[in-house]
């Protein structure tokens, strides 16, 4: 890859990193950090969507018939 292309790619990556950081900071400010804390602490990990599980079970039963 040519040197100017590498520089442009690096600049674009740096801009995207700054953009992602700014978006995370704004989201945390809006949500008060609660949602992100819940995700990082795994509070949603124990919750199971039984509707999805029931749908999978029903589909398996239909295939077996």
Per residue in 31-61, pLDDT (tens digit) is 776 776 777 776 666 555 555 566 677 777 7
pTM over cut 0.85? no
> DSSP per residue over 2-18, as a string?
-HHHHHHHHHHHHHHHH
Domain total for the chain?
1
pLDDT value at residue 60:
75
Averaged confidence pLDDT in the chain? 78
User: The dihedral of CA 53, 58, 63, 65: what is its sign?
Assistant: positive
CA nearest to 7, candidates 20, 18, 15: 15
Print the domain residue range for 38: 3-64
Q: Is the pLDDT of residue 22 over 80?
A: yes
The answer to whether 28 and 36 are in contact (CB under 8 A) is yes
């Amino acid at each position: 890859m040519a040197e100017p292309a590498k520089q442009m790619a690096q600049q674009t990556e740096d801009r995207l990193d700054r953009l992602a950081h700014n978006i995370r900071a704004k989201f945390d400010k809006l949500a008060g950090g609660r949602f992100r804390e819940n995700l990082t602490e795994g509070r949603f990990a124990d919750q199971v969507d039984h509707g999805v599980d029931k749908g999978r079970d029903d589909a398996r039963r239909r295939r077996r018939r």
